[in-house]
Chains A and B, each alone.
Chain A
Amino acid sequence: MTALALERDDFRSILHDRRMILFTALAVLLVLVSFLGLGLGATGVPVSRILSVVADALTGRVATGGDALIILQVRLPRLLLGLLIGGALASSGALMQGLFRNPLADPGLVGVSAGAALAAAATITLGDRLLTPLLGPLPFSALPVGAFAGGLLTTLGLYLVATRSGRTSMATMLLAGVAFGALAGAAMGLFSYLSDDRQLRDLSFWSLGSLSGATWTKVTAVAPFILPTLLAMPFVARGLNALSLGEAEAFHLGVPVQRVKAIAILLVAIAVGASVAAAGMIGFVGIVVPHVLRLVAGADHRMLLPASSLLGAALLVAADTVARTIAAPAELPIGILTAAIGAPFFLWLLLRRQGGVAL
């Protein structure tokens, strides 16, 4: 009887301890990476100076010196944008995987990012031609809205194509994602053909993905989209847990399946749309981060979604710091870096699955 009691406490405490350790580690990692992101670069800034500059700025004193300018006007907005977008991409990856009941789903991989980028491109080229003469120059926040619409349409389309009577086929989804991606690529090509020089540069920026254009304007335009979605994601966690048993089983457990799916699709579209609008297509963050977390701490979405936000944020800032220092003074688009790491990882996932779960 004592052995049994011990065993019972075991289950609970192990789960609990693991999560405490995990979130503490993630928080420490996030702080560390943030200081690296602020301190490293063409001009190195020591931690003490970073602290005093940020403290000055927060208390309203005017910061002086070139390094203060670099930190406040260049690196800080870039850091915040990286945190936001990394968190958004990783947690929407986890959310999509839960929605499709498939650990290989990723907004970049299945064409959602491409759809969002296409819509953003359309907003630029067509918006310039059709709307600017009427309304004046479009504010930057028109881009996240456009990209959100594109992401939403693509996610919905994908879901409709890949789901038959409540079962989502992994093969169909990946292939449909390829088709959607190709379609978006073709349309992007058309837009670039129609574009002038400035628009062309903006378009090519989307296909690579980069945080280099980070400004306070972008941060403040994107944060109202991303922060609420990150905070809202845990509310569908229980539903996603039940959904991983299957739609019928989730319904039997009392989950309002259609509502959970609709909310999940909406959240993914908002988060990915805003990310793509600000930084273009950055792939594989959404697939690598949740997978690593599942290996470490299990599949429970109540842990997975917030943890993905934290680890995704840290990972993207770290990757961005590498991207802008590795070939300094030149800068590597971060999308290239994440793809270079993420694509082999994805292949490894595919190979590993061969023995176990079938496609």
Chain B
Amino acid sequence: MSPLLEAKGISYRSGGRMLIEAADLSIAGGSFTIVIGPNGAGKSTLLRVLSGEISPTEGEVRFDARPLRSIPPWRLAHGRAVMPQASDLSFPFTVFEVACLGVEGIGRGLSRGERQRIALDALEQADVAHLGHRNYQTLSGGERQRVHFARVLAQLQAGRTVETRQVLFLDEPIASLDLRHQLALLQTAKSLAQDGLAVVAVLHDLQLAAGIGDDLVLMRGGRLVTRGRPESVLTPELITEVFGVSLVSPILPPSPWTLAPTATRPLATGAP
């Protein structure tokens, strides 16, 4: 099968600076790709180019063998969802309404009730169903992030009625989450990848990246330094060279945490 997402020689220049330089990248369905690198390496910009939000100054991105630019936004939205780094809402939408934004206009032949069911399921998956009536503006940063995760899950679920080859982009999705929700979110994303989605995430936690990614892309200064299996990317030499830190142990241990099976619901606060 052709790669789901393919970038050829993409560069992105803004304000005289090269934010991404001559990057080649192909991403297959069913894989969990994690982009790592120090601040300012161009990780978020890479995600913005790959998701079609900005067009590369040079080169081309193809989605399912079609040039990304030629796909109309509504069509693209069925096969690609993006969870933003942080998102403020200027109006008092409820959590349920925010999740519903993910399914409005997405999917074919879905009734209003089915859309709302998809949104509710997604809220449960992201462990924010108990916040459904709450005003989004009153939520904490972590809760907001989980609501947006629910929103993109809903979008993908609705989009699946039209487009089965899908990509999920996550830009630092766990930045403000507690440990349990970090793991839960990444595991949900992982299982989506196992179901055939391509998941592309920017992460700062190298240990979590090593534990959960199939494929790591290491960036520095707008360039892709290397990509491959976690053990081949996260070598002590490369970590020292790119991040400027030394490992205490000779190799990076994978994530030492796993979700406790009993802790699925009771931690949710505020539930009636």
A241 in contact (CB, < 8 A): yes
A41 interface residue, CB < 8 Å from B? no
A14: nearest chain-B partner, CB-CB: B133
**A251 close to B (CB within 8 Å):** yes
**Looking at chain B, what size class is its interface with the partner chain?**
35 or more
Give bound CA distance, A100 to B27, whole Å. 36
| Size bin of chain A's contact surface | 20 to 34
* B contact face: mostly helix, strand, loop, or mixed: mixed
| A105: nearest chain-B partner, CB-CB | B90
In the complex, the chain B residue whose C-beta lies closest to that of A245 is: B87
Of the 9-residue stretches A67-75, A252-260, A318-326, which lies at the interface with chain B? A252-260
What's the minimum C-beta distance from A14 to chain B, rounded to whole angstroms? 8
Please tell me which one of the listed residues A245, A254, A357 contacts residue B74 in the complex, with CB atoms under 8 A apart: A254
Q: Is B77 an interface residue (CB 8 A)?
A: yes
Please tell me if A185 contacts chain B, counting CB pairs below 8 Å.
no
Interface stretch of the complex, out of B16-24, B100-108, B228-236: B100-108
Q: How far is the CA of A47 from the CA of B36 in the complex (A)?
A: 74
> Which A residues lie within 8 Å of B82 (CB)?
248-249, 252
Question: Which chain A residue shows the least CB distance to B97?
Answer: A300
Inter-chain contact B106/A254, CB cutoff 8 Å:
yes
Verify if B84 is at the interface (C-beta below 8 Å from A): yes
Question: Using a CB-CB cutoff of 8 Å, which residues 84-102 of chain A contact chain B?
Answer: 97-98, 101-102
Please measure, in the bound complex, the distance between the C-alpha atom of A101 and the C-alpha atom of B137, giving whole angstroms.
14
| Contact of A102 with B90 in the complex, beta carbons under 8 Å | yes
What separation, in Å, do the CA atoms of A103 and B92 have in the docked complex? Answer: 10
Give complex CA distance A356, B91 in Å: 12
Which B residue's beta carbon lies closest to that of A253? Answer: B77
Interface flags for B210-239 (1: CB within 8 Å of A; 0: not) read 000000000000000000000000000000
Q: Give the chain B neighbours of A102 by CB distance below 8 A.
A: 90
Task: Among B73, B88, B94, B96, point to the contact of A256 (Cβ < 8 A).
Answer: B73
Q: Which B residue's beta carbon lies closest to that of A240?
A: B91
Report the bound CA distance from A30 to B80 in whole Å.
45
A7-B132 in contact (CB<8A)? yes
Number of A-B contacts (CB under 8 A): 93
Asked if A251 and B90 make an inter-chain contact with CB atoms under 8 angstroms apart, the answer reads no
Expressed in whole angstroms, the Cα–Cα distance for A25 and B86 within the complex equals 38
| A98 to B133 alpha-carbon distance, docked (Å) | 22
Q: How far is the CB of B256 from chain A (nearest CB, A)?
A: 34
B116 interface residue (CB < 8 Å to A)? yes
Partner of B120, one of A8, A248, A299, A300: A8
CB–CB A253/B104 < 8 A: yes
| Complex: A242 Cα to B106 Cα, angstroms | 12
Question: Which chain A residues numbered 292 to 316 have a C-beta less than 8 Å away from chain B?
Answer: 294, 298-300
Query: Counting CB contacts under 8 A, is B48 at the interface?
Result: yes
A252 contacts B101, C-beta separation under 8 Å: no
Closest to B112 in A: A12
| Assembly CA distance A242 to B99 (angstroms) | 11
The residues of A that contact B72 with a CB separation of less than 8 Å are 256
Q: Does A238 contact B (CB under 8 A)?
A: yes
Residues of chain B touching chain A, judged by Cβ–Cβ distance below 8 Å, are 48, 51-53, 72-78, 80-82, 84, 87-94, 96-98, 101-102, 104-106, 113, 116-117, 120, 129, 132-133, 137, 155
15 chain-A/chain-B pairs, Cβ below 8 angstroms: A8-B117, A11-B96, A11-B132, A12-B116, A101-B90, A242-B104, A245-B84, A249-B87, A253-B102, A254-B78, A254-B106, A299-B93, A300-B97, A357-B88, A357-B90
